[in-house]
């Protein structure tokens, strides 16, 4: 019974992420086209990139859930990749904001956040490298009950 509930919940989450991802993709593209000529082009492209990276995160999470449903095991590496993409997305967003904050008190906080996010990307990349070098690329946590 619990396995069936788990399957239904994972499937529901994957479906919700899929619907949300499609809607988000539409909104991101609509906003990009609508703002052509009204917003500085570089800022517009940065917003497009940020939105598309968020769609990519949705896609990676759906892919990870698909593997979990099919194999009944949680793979570690896809979650590390999602973390890297999320951190890079945030760096892009706050980097665009940083130019307007130059010379203010908040600028130091933004630079600190960028530094922490960069370190996070580095650590997650090292974790992926360590997983791959260990010879077992598909590190997983099996969800099945063993006796």
Query: How big is the chain by its Cα radius of gyration, in Å?
Result: 19
Q: Are 122 and 92 in contact (CB under 8 A)?
A: no
The pair of structure tokens assigned to 28 is 């991101």
CA distance 130 to 112: 27
Q: Alpha-carbon distance 77 to 87, whole Å? A: 15
pLDDT digits (tens, 9 = 90+) for 57-107: 899 889 888 888 888 777 888 889 889 999 998 898 888 777 778 878 888
Q: How many CA atoms lie within 13 A of 24 on its CB side?
A: 19
Q: Where are the alpha helices (DSSP H) in the chain?
A: 2-34, 41-71, 77-101, 105-133
pLDDT digits (tens, 9 = 90+) for 98-132: 777 887 888 888 889 999 999 999 999 999 999 88
Q: What is the pTM of this model?
A: 0.71
């Amino acid at each position: 019974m619990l396995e069936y509930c788990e399957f239904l919940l994972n499937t529901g989450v994957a479906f919700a992420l899929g619907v949300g991802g499609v809607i988000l993709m539409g909104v991101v593209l609509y906003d990009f086209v609508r703002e052509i000529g009204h917003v500085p082009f570089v800022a517009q492209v940065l917003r497009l990139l940020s939105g598309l990276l968020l769609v990519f995160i949705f896609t990676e999470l759906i892919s990870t859930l698909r593997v979990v449903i099919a194999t009944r095991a949680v793979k570690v590496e896809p979650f590390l990749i999602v973390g890297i993409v999320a951190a890079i997305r945030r760096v892009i967003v706050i980097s665009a904001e940083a130019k307007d904050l130059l010379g203010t008190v908040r600028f130091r906080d933004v630079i600190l956040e960028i530094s922490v996010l960069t370190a996070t990307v580095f650590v997650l990349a090292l974790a992926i490298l360590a997983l791959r070098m260990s010879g077992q690329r598909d590190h997983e946590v099996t969800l099945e009950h063993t006796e």
